[in-house]
């Protein structure tokens, strides 16, 4: 009888440890996703505002972080946007504003969906630049 109780206690402890480990692991991934999602949006905004080379590299690194840590829907949306930006630029064309809005809306909604938040109908990331007088 004592052996059954001991085995039951050990199994209970092992199962609890596994469940706690998985819960903690998932919480860490979600926290990392929050961080890389914000970094991506911040890097994209900086790149759009200045178009400096270092801002592009920061944006590029943020894309890579999303592809590594982001959920599947967000990763695919970000990669699709980045690929379209690169292709348009390499072809010597200008990326149309409405295309930016469509891609950026898809990205923000994928991010929000990952956290069970409501989607936006439209998300516009405004470009801001100071004009030299």
What phi and psi, each to the nearest 5 degrees, are found at residue 132?
A: -80, 130
What is the reported pLDDT for 113? 96
What local confidence, expressed as pLDDT, does residue 13 receive?
76
Torsion of Cα atoms, 93 then 98 then 100 then 104, to 10°? -170
With a pLDDT cut of 70, the percent of the chain lying above it is 95
Residues of the chain with confidence (pLDDT) below 70? 6, 129-133
- What pTM was computed for the model? 0.79
Residue with tokens 């080379």: 53
């Amino acid at each position: 009888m004592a052996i059954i109780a001991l085995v039951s206690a050990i199994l209970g402890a092992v199962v609890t440890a596994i469940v706690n480990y998985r819960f903690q692991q998932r919480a860490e991934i979600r926290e990392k996703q929050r961080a890389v999602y914000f970094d991506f949006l911040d890097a994209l905004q900086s790149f759009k505002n200045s178009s400096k080379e270092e801002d592009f590299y920061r944006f590029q690194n943020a894309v890579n972080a999303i592809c590594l840590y982001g959920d599947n829907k967000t990763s695919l949306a970000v990669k699709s946007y980045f690929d379209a930006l690169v292709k348009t630029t390499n072809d010597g064309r200008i990326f149309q504003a409405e295309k930016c809005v469509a891609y950026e809306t898809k990205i923000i909604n994928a991010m929000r969906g990952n956290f069970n938040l409501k989607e936006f109908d439209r998300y516009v990331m405004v470009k801001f630049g100071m004009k030299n007088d």
